[in-house]
Amino acid sequence: MRRLFVHSLVLTAVMGLAAVMGTAAAPASAAPAVPYIRGTSTVPVYLYADAIRESVWVQTPLDNDYDGVPDKVAVDVVRPRAGNVRVPVIMQASPFYGCCGRGNEKERKEYDAAGTISKQPLFYDNYFVPRGYAVIAVDMAGTGRSTGCTDTDGREDTLGTKAAIDWLNGRAKATYADGSPAVATGWTNGRVGMIGKSADGTVTNEVAATGVEGLKTVVPIAATSSGYDYARHNGVVVSPDANESLFHMVTSRPAEACARTLAELDAGSDDATGDYNAFWAERDLRPHASKVRASVFLVHGLNDGSVMTDHFAQWWKGLKVPRKMWLSQAGNVDPFDFRRAEWVDTLHRWFDFYLQGLHNGIDREPQVSMETSPGKWTDQPAWPAPGAHQVQVQLGNGDGTTGTLGGRSGTGERTWVDNPDLFEDAATANPNGAVAGRAAFLSGPLTRDLRISGTPAVTLRVQVDRPTTELTARLVDYGTIQRVNTIYPNEGIRTLDTESCWGASTAADDACYRDTAQDVVTSDRGILTRGWQDAAHRVSLRFRVPLQAGRWYSITVPMQATDQTVRARHVLGVILQQSDLEYSTPSTTGATVRMDLRGSHLTLPVVGSAGLPQPGKAAPRVKAAAAATSHKGTHRRNSSIP
């Protein structure tokens, strides 16, 4: 827990802060004395058990269940009994409150006999309400107690959630269950911070991209920034009917009410082609990053196999606002479960700065905090790492079976037939041997640590005897070391039997959660990043251009963004194959690929001057046995982790 200042300094005016903090300061209406502020921190002065709990329904501008009545989203409020002091709001919108729960313990909303919220999932209300914040939980359209129909990151999800912020600022109407008006402007100053993980984090990004007035900061955790890139890998379908599956998972509406929306999801996603179309453009936030006016505190796992790392990298690149980022070695995990004490402290100071206008110095801290190895964190001023630059690495012939990385472009070819039964463990094992359906290339043992920060890619000069095929590339660190075990479903953590408490409790809603520990294993290799490309989408994601047999093509397979360090004496490897049934659901064409090494190369974003050592005539011998268990059939990328 953050040490609080001993002296009790009560702020009697906040307007002075506004002069120096701009959008981060509280509005002039917060000028009366604020009893929950001590120095540069909020402190718990309000009784959580005495908090005001209410449930309201906010009118949205849409009617996508086509019943002739504007849709309404259910908003459950827990706020301090603060008298005439108007407080800021922490808001989490989710489609999962009713179906699946939130957090590691899958908590759901609970209500009293009168239908008023008695338990909100997660610790936010327990911790922040006593400190002078209101915490609200929004059932996204078509889920929980809301009307309308969920449209999977479309206009309804976005504008329905945005309406809650409009209500908090007096721009939208709401009612209680009995139909009487519900007004928020008497108890809130309209300053809102949104937070959420996975789909909850995605809608946080979506609402921020509208530039809505009143939204001052957002905290997206493992969030997507492109619906297309979640459902496709450069033209390769990840999971057919993914949008419809999510709809069925979360919807609380009668089937007949949302049949039209469901049909639109099915038609718009266009699984048959994998093309980027108007449906996906509506769900692509990256072109709208410059519209974001709220500050951003982004959290993502570098080994997230569900929400891939390009989601944070592309979003981060486009933002023009104050921002901060945590990058962990975990998978799809909330920081509350991999760095709990530091997370609560940092989140507290972040909200205090941007919602309460308190000068606590968090804006002057390093922009990026990153886990470089299990449990070891370091700070840096930016991402990608300062000094990262692209280095082209040639592919050599080696011994004719295993190729080399580095040196001059080698003569020679590789030919392999699509093997859809080749899963990652087998594809990356025994890189010195011949394995049907793959091509392997190894560097020499590194003479010094090699840091890769950014987006790698491989460019392949190929002939393909079918109109298309999937091309898959993996960048592998060969060397025995401790690594975070991110295999689904634990994603890098172990849940313990002990508990710790983070805030105040009531009989209905306690603030105690089971502790977690990092799941660390010793392994002989680690996958640094992966990449996929449908060959027929090599020209554009919007349409397909079939390949002609016998013709040479240069096709680039972009990999996911990463930031990893390959240790000295380890070997860097590139593994190429075609179909990847573990992270996608391609329609295998049975293609044969012929690759010319002279026109093929790896592009690495390298930090500093360290490069790959010059290879010998043959690749080094590397021990990397297949794992005892295979991921076959798990489809980690398709797991729909909520």
**pLDDT tens digits for 67-94?**
999 999 999 999 999 999 999 999 999 9
Instruction: Answer yes or no: are the C-beta atoms of 232 and 310 closer than 8 Å.
Output: no
Q: Residue 294: what residue type?
A: A
- 3-state SS assignment for residue 432: coil
Instruction: Name the residue among 517, 513, 518 with its Cα closest to residue 127.
Output: 513
The whole domain housing 409 covers 388-501+524-623
Residues present in the chain in total: 642
Domain boundary (380, 398, 431) is at 380
Measured in whole angstroms, the distance separating CA 243 from the mean position of its chain's CA atoms is: 17
- Token pair for residue 152? 């999977």
- What is residue 610's predicted lDDT score, i.e. its pLDDT? 64
Residue 71 domain flag: yes
Cross-strand partners of 555: 460
Mean pLDDT of 355-384: 97
The owner of tokens 């004395």 is: 33
Q: Is residue 424 domain-shared with residue 550, that is, in the same domain?
A: yes
Task: Give the CA angle between residues 372, 376, 381 to the nearest 5°.
Answer: 60
Q: Is residue 443 domain-shared with residue 339, that is, in the same domain?
A: no
- 3-state SS assignment for residue 341: helix
- 3-state SS assignment for residue 529: strand
On the question of pLDDT at 20 being above 90, the answer is: no
User: Which H or E run contains 230?
Assistant: helix 227-231
- What is residue 615's predicted lDDT score, i.e. its pLDDT? 76
Q: Is residue 359 domain-shared with residue 421, that is, in the same domain?
A: no
CA distance 490 to 344: 22
Instruction: Answer yes or no: are the C-beta atoms of 495 and 104 closer than 8 Å.
Output: yes
- Of residues 635 and 455, the one with the higher pLDDT is 455
CA distance 370 to 303: 13
Measured in whole angstroms, the distance separating CA 513 from the mean position of its chain's CA atoms is: 23
Domain boundary (346, 380, 414) is at 380
- What is residue 414's predicted lDDT score, i.e. its pLDDT? 97
Q: Is residue 305 domain-shared with residue 341, that is, in the same domain?
A: yes
Q: At what angle do helices 155-168 and 199-208 cross, to 10 degrees?
A: 70
**pLDDT tens digits for 301-323?**
999 999 999 999 999 999 999 99
Alpha-carbon dihedral angle through residues 540, 541, 543, 546, given to the nearest 10 degrees? 70
Residue 182 domain flag: yes
Domain containing 399 — which CATH number?
2.60.120.260
DSSP code for 210: T
Q: Is residue 302 domain-shared with residue 445, that is, in the same domain?
A: no
- What is residue 618's predicted lDDT score, i.e. its pLDDT? 81
pLDDT > 90: percent of the chain: 87
**pLDDT tens digits for 578-631?**
999 999 998 889 999 999 999 999 999 999 876 787 777 788 889 887 764 333
Instruction: Answer yes or no: are the C-beta atoms of 213 and 169 closer than 8 Å.
Output: yes
Mean pLDDT of 414-441: 96
CA distance 356 to 366: 21
Residue 13 domain flag: no
Cross-strand partners of 514: 499
Residue 307 domain flag: yes
Alpha-carbon dihedral angle through residues 357, 359, 363, 365, given to the nearest 10 degrees? -150
Contacts of 555 (CB under 8 A, 6+ apart): 459, 460, 462, 471, 533, 535, 538
Q: Is residue 238 domain-shared with residue 366, that is, in the same domain?
A: yes
- What is residue 641's predicted lDDT score, i.e. its pLDDT? 55
Q: At what angle do helices 242-250 and 259-269 cross, to 10 degrees?
A: 160
Residue 265 domain flag: yes
Contacts of 640 (CB under 8 A, 6+ apart): 239, 242, 245, 246, 249
**pLDDT tens digits for 211-270?**
999 999 999 999 999 999 999 999 999 999 999 999 999 999 999 999 999 999 999 999
CA distance 78 to 279: 36
- What is residue 13's predicted lDDT score, i.e. its pLDDT? 33
Residue 253 domain flag: yes
Kindly report whether the peptide bond that precedes residue 489 is cis, defined as omega within 30 degrees of 0. yes
Q: Is residue 406 domain-shared with residue 449, that is, in the same domain?
A: yes
**pLDDT tens digits for 119-154?**
999 999 999 999 999 999 999 999 999 999 999 999
- What is residue 168's predicted lDDT score, i.e. its pLDDT? 98
Q: Is residue 160 domain-shared with residue 130, that is, in the same domain?
A: yes
On the question of pLDDT at 172 being above 80, the answer is: yes
Query: Is residue 104 classed exposed, middle or buried when 0-12, 13-18 and 19+ CB atoms within 10 A define those classes?
Result: middle
**Number of compact structural domains in the chain:** 2
Cross-strand partners of 8: none
Domain boundary (380, 410, 439) is at 380
Give the pTM. 0.92
CA distance 322 to 330: 25
Q: Which of 19-23, 327-331, 597-601 has the lowest mean pLDDT?
A: 19-23
**pLDDT tens digits for 386-401?**
999 999 999 999 999 9
Residue 513 domain flag: no
Give the 3-state secondary structure percentages of the chain, helix then strand then coil, rounded to 5: 20, 35, 45
Q: How confident is the model at residue 33 (pLDDT cuts 50, 70, 90)?
A: confident
**pLDDT tens digits for 467-502?**
999 999 999 999 999 999 998 888 999 999 999 999
Domain containing 257 — which CATH number?
3.40.50.1820
Q: How confident is the model at residue 6 (pLDDT cuts 50, 70, 90)?
A: very low
Q: Is residue 413 domain-shared with residue 372, that is, in the same domain?
A: no
Q: Is residue 372 domain-shared with residue 446, that is, in the same domain?
A: no
- What is residue 627's predicted lDDT score, i.e. its pLDDT? 60
- What is residue 373's predicted lDDT score, i.e. its pLDDT? 96
- Strands 215-221, 188-197: parallel, antiparallel or unpaired by DSSP? parallel
Q: Is residue 276 domain-shared with residue 418, that is, in the same domain?
A: no
Q: Is residue 394 domain-shared with residue 373, that is, in the same domain?
A: no
Q: Torsions phi, psi of 562, nearest 5? A: -155, 170
- Strands 553-558, 402-405: parallel, antiparallel or unpaired by DSSP? unpaired
- What is residue 428's predicted lDDT score, i.e. its pLDDT? 97
Residue 38 domain flag: no
- Return the number of other C-beta atoms located less than 10 Å from residue 489's C-beta: 10
Instruction: Name the residue among 502, 100, 576, 517 with its Cα closest to residue 341.
Output: 502
